[in-house]
Structure 1
């Protein structure tokens, strides 16, 4: 996971969460490598004040709750039913708008993949931005340098498990209301791909094939730019 705009969880945040989720609910603990409760504190509505976002399980169903503090009172400003049986990702980053964080959630539905959900604050409250299923086994979020350098918006590298230690990897950015392939950052992200695949090349034919595919896509991106 790349750089995101989040801060550490304090004791007061746990008290707030406990007071706002149902008494029968329990916080979801994200599996490894996170191995921690699905809670973050970040500015999610662009007002320079921190909100709390958490994922909890209640009566067998998954939910995400976002709470805001007005003066000394915390109250929910978003509470949505989720998917799957746990969460693999919970992070805040400026994906849709360079001036405001989005909330990205990985709802784990399969043994090796999650469905990515992006919540964005709007004039009508939080909205689900992705209308189509977007699968990933691993997510890296970072403002990646393209042809004109960094632009303040975070790109998403979505790793989808293929076989063994091999992954299909695509890098996206938000544009015109959807996630689109970010060809111009492939030369930058390719170096991370090389580092990973060099460590597993001898163990996996699929890894070797995926690295060759990425090299072809990198050459195509360079020609386009």
Structure 2
């Protein structure tokens, strides 16, 4: 009998406590939602981004570093024909005011959050609009400049994104569908005025790409998996591995044009002229 009592007590501690915490969190956010609703069109519907985990349709961040947090709101209009919105609100005195807004076509928001992409010690607003299963997602990055948010990259399209957090800044691994479930992967770091391919970081990230394609090739020995793997090896500067993958790829009936182009890229990268630069 005592054993059953203790099992019931443990059940209460494990399962009911998180429930109470969740309710409390929602209660704390409720005043913000009520405030925002008054500033949005009546047909507006809040959107919770798919990632990162535990994100909300209202996020707070101190963009201008004045000690007062701003509110970033993601929403859609019920009859907006696929129009998605990201709205920034700033408190001036006792009033919240709209100071910036951007829109995009799409079905949902894949990612919305704040990351120090540029490495200047202040987070940027990173948003990925979900365009569709085939088209993937559209990435945009905004930085606080001259009392507003300004886009600092041309939109990039991807199907899967991973944030690679370093000591001073966050880099991005973007997987873009090439064919079927084969993806071409870019690892990008901010340098000077834009995102550039980061060969050193790519080499660190490469085991994840390799693991993915090793599993796929075991399921089906297809040329497009070998092509995507060879592309990753070339970007990671793994010359022996990419040479072997290209040789393997050229044994397939399909994809010869693509593998020959990879071979030309490899030769250009290993040419004496390149080696001395």
Answering whether residue 47 of structure 2 is matched by residue 25 of structure 1, we say no
Whether contact under 8 Å (1:46, 1:99) holds in the other structure is no
Give the CA deviation at 1:69: 3.4
Q: Where do 5+ consecutive residues of structure 1 fail to align?
A: 1-7, 145-149
Q: CA RMSD of the aligned region, Å?
A: 3.0
Residues 186-205 of structure 1 aligned to structure 2 (within 5 Å) = 186-204=202-220, 205=222
Whether contact under 8 Å (2:86, 2:101) holds in the other structure is yes
TM-score (norm 2): 0.65
TM-score (norm 1): 0.77
| Distance across 1 between alignment mates of 2:202 and 2:54 | 30
Aligned to 2:130: 108
**Larger strand fraction of residues:** 1
Count of aligned positions:
209
Whether contact under 8 Å (2:50, 2:111) holds in the other structure is no
Give the greater-gyration-radius structure (CA).
2
| Distance across 2 between alignment mates of 1:13 and 1:198 | 48
Task: Give secondary structure in 2 for the equivalent of 1:46.
Answer: coil
Assess, with a 3 A threshold, how the Cα gap between structure 1 residues 93 and 219 changes in structure 2: closer, same or farther.
Answer: same
Assess, with a 3 A threshold, how the Cα gap between structure 1 residues 75 and 161 changes in structure 2: closer, same or farther.
Answer: same
| Distance across 1 between alignment mates of 2:51 and 2:91 | 31
Q: Where do 5+ consecutive residues of structure 2 fail to align?
A: 1-24, 240-269
Off by >6 Å, runs of 4+ in structure 1 = 32-36
Query: Which among 69, 72, 79 is matched to residue 50 of structure 1?
Result: 69
Deviations 1:160-202 (A, max 9, x none): 1223332111011222222211122112211222333344332
Assess, with a 3 A threshold, how the Cα gap between structure 1 residues 197 and 43 changes in structure 2: closer, same or farther.
Answer: farther
**Larger helix fraction of residues:** 2
Deviations 1:103-143 (A, max 9, x none): 1111222323111111111124111112x331111111223
Question: 1 or 2 for the larger relative contact order (CA 8 Å, sep ≥6)?
Answer: 1
